[in-house]
Amino acid sequence: MKRGFLYTGLAMMLISGACSDETELQKNVFIHDKDYYDLPAYSEWGYNTFGAYYDMVPLVSDYTGTPAKIINTAGRTSFYLNGHLSSGYYSAGTDAAIIFDFFSFDPQSYTDLLSLNNLTADLQSPVYAVRVKIDTATYDCDILEGSLVFTKVRNLIVDKKQVEVILSGTFGFRALVDQEPVAVTMGRFDVGIGTNNFFRY
Amino acid sequence: MKSKLLFCSIMVLFMAFSLQGQEKKLKFLFVESGADFLDCEEPQKDYMRADIDPLWAYYATDRVRSLCYSEHFGIRLEYRFLKNKLGISSGLRYTRMFSSIGKTSYWTDSPEFFYIRYRMDATSMEYAKVYGLSQKASYLEVPLEFRIYPYSDYPVNVYYKAGVSFSYNIGSGSAVDFYEAPMENYEAEVAAVIEDPPLYYGSFHLGIGLKIGKINKPGLILEANLPVAVAVPDEACFVKPQNGAGFQIMVRVPLTKNEKK
């Protein structure tokens, strides 16, 4: 029985040790924008934040948790930006996400994301789609106009080892969401994608 | 009433200066050494990824701090006047300032690592994991100090002081304490991101001293400086010291013989 506890303890220590790698780089560094205080300032350092105004209400990343995921499955690669919709960064708000779908992009690993560098995606194009998730409901967006720009995509290397890829850029669109016109403006993201938040299955 | 008060004040001043003229001025040579321990601004730097200002829920020890202390030694001459109750002194000091980011206390290493961005190009950004950054800087310092000796010349006595100093940098070096030993091969490149120390700085301090030894004999002096306030130029430097406390140990040698107090 004691040996069982010992093995369990050792296993937990190993798991926690493995998970603690580069935790500081995975933390969110939310520096308020000078002009749009509710949103994070635009950055390209992998601060793991994103923000936009969803019909003038701030939709921003949480202080903890993974703000971004890339999921490549069933012929679609989805770029998730997860956060909450609220009137302030520190208020609880409603869980919300913006999901950009790519139908002609098939990354095999997170390092393939480097090819997104300098890409401007016209969201009206049929090779892209946008979904919005508010609380538990997910809505397909009928895009009226808008774009997603990957301003800078760079490898993040720590002690000469590749850790993740940093995606930085901007977005904005006008769309019909659940038959209602919605404007998403001033969108910006600066997120790291690595083995923990890149999925292909 | 006012005119009487003014007259009395003028008379007291006149008598004081008259007595000063009759007194033989005392001169002393001080050989001194000491240290100051200074609080610094938070290390908010673009090239660092670390917990500078953690949430209240985190332990304070997780926080990455800037620390700074300085050591000095030097010589100083003091002239006494106003019945030997007031001393003015100046001299020259060699000061070494030790600055660090990452250490949790002056003499212990950091238990936590943080990240330094040292290379960036169009396709990649490179960080090094470090326990800490440190810098040693040498300064030539010119102090100007006033001491008030209000009490009679007992073998052990207390006095008060106020002083300022100006320090000019004459050299510096930086070092990196890496998390991974193989990264030491890149120390020059990583250390290059560390800013230079201030080219010059000024300081102000108040203090209290304990003098051991009669006035006409060599003596030993212990001084506590509190507060010590430091002003550095408003430009980027590795750490920005602000204020703190210090101490000084001095050997005093009278330069005038057979003096009476």
User: Does residue A187 register a pLDDT over 50?
Assistant: yes
Q: Å from B98 to nearest chain A CA?
A: 26
Q: What is the pLDDT of residue B259?
A: 47
Lowest mean pLDDT of A6-10, A148-152, B7-11, name the range.
A6-10
Amino acid symbol at B239: V
| Under-70 pLDDT residues of chain B | 1-24, 51-63, 110-111, 257-261
Q: Is B51 on the interface with A (CB under 8 A)?
A: yes
User: Does residue A2 register a pLDDT over 70?
Assistant: no
Q: What is the pLDDT of residue B8?
A: 47
Q: Å from A42 to nearest chain B CA?
A: 14
Q: Å from A90 to nearest chain B CA?
A: 12
| Structure-model confidence comparison of residues A3 and A35, the more confident one | A35
Tens of pLDDT, residues B212-240: 988 888 999 999 999 999 999 888 889 99
Chain A residues near residue B116 by CB distance under 8 angstroms: none
> Which of B44, B116, B129, B190 is most worth mutating to test chain A (most A CB atoms within 10 A of its CB)?
B129
> Residue A117, class by beta-carbon neighbours within 10 Å (0-12 exposed, 13-18 middle, 19+ buried)?
middle
In our burial notation (b when 16+ CB lie closer than 10 A, e otherwise), range B22-41 reads ebeebbbbbebebbbbbbbe
| Structure-model confidence comparison of residues A49 and B2, the more confident one | A49
User: Does residue A157 register a pLDDT over 60?
Assistant: yes
Residue B181, classed as helix, strand or coil, is: helix
The token pair that represents A163 in the structure block: 């850790």
Residue A40 CA to residue A34 CA, distance in Å, equals 9
User: Does residue A136 register a pLDDT over 70?
Assistant: yes
Nearest CB to A114; choose among B123, B128, B180: B123
Is the whole model's pTM more than 0.90, yes or no? Answer: no
